Amino acid sequence: MVKIIMHGCCGHMGQVISQIVKEDADAQIVAGIDPFDNGKMEYPVYKSLEDCKEEADVVIDFASAKAEDALLDYCGAHKLPVVVCTTGLSEEQLTAVEEASKQVAVLKSANMSLGINMLMKILQDAAKILVPAGFDIEIVEKHHNRKLDAPSGTAITLAEGILENIDRKDKWVKGTLVAPDGSLSGNTVYAPDELPVSSVREGEVPGIHTIRYDSEADSISITHDAKNRKGFALGVVLAAEYTAQHEGFLGMNDLFQF
């Protein structure tokens, strides 16, 4: 059985992941880390990893970006594998994540769900065929209005995956951002070598990503609609079980092997 420390256990995703693990015979959360203990968790909760007394095989990180540096230092020093789910990391922190993998196994992905990772494979294959045939590409992502980063990490990953498989476009750029108050910001005209990634922030949407391939003759839209956060949480748990038994800098492609 894989023993897990849930870093950021009292947040919304931490609670969803805790419920998934509760129903998994191959995993167990032995402790949680959160500065704000809600008293609802069925395992001991500590304010920091330094306070944690339980031994574990892996950490699931779903806290805030400001806690990332201390987490990576701890996991590196204690050779404790970690699955990094926290978004909004700076370029320096992303570099630190890769550096940490030289000391201990680190799995990092913008989105852990099987559906999104399957979508990535489909988009890469489609881009190789459609873009040379003259199709243009646009990505639109929609999330709840509490999400601070835009575009989403998942949308950026999808865009970068497409760009790796085509020659006509060189970079992704921020498209239109629709804020909760209806205001707009971002580019409205795009250069031929740019792939626009537009964002919508509204309501309680867990996450919708639509990729549009458009030509003068026809258009194709591919959409992943997350009904809730359970698919993401299940992928996180599978990633934790995998990371606990491997080494180096890992991604979901290592786990699913599409």
Q: Can you tell me whether residue 60 is helix, strand or coil?
A: strand
The residues, ordered by sequence, that sit 6+ positions from 22 with a Cβ below 8 Å of its Cβ are 29, 42
Q: Which amino acid is at 67?
A: A
Catalytic residue among 7, 108, 142, 143: 143
CA-CA distance, 148 to 141, in Å (whole number)? Answer: 13
CA-CA distance, 87 to 40, in Å (whole number)? Answer: 25
CA-CA distance, 220 to 216, in Å (whole number)? Answer: 12
Tokens of 180: 């909760």
Query: How do strand 208-214 and strand 219-225 relate by DSSP bridges?
Result: antiparallel
Catalytic residue among 3, 147, 174, 230: 147
The residues, ordered by sequence, that sit 6+ positions from 103 with a Cβ below 8 Å of its Cβ are 76, 79
216 φ/ψ angles, rounded to the nearest 5 degrees: -65, -25
Q: Is 246 a catalytic residue?
A: no
Q: Which amino acid is at 184?
A: L
Q: Is 12 a catalytic residue?
A: no
Tokens of 82: 């970690």
Task: Indicate which residues carry an active-site annotation.
Answer: 143, 147
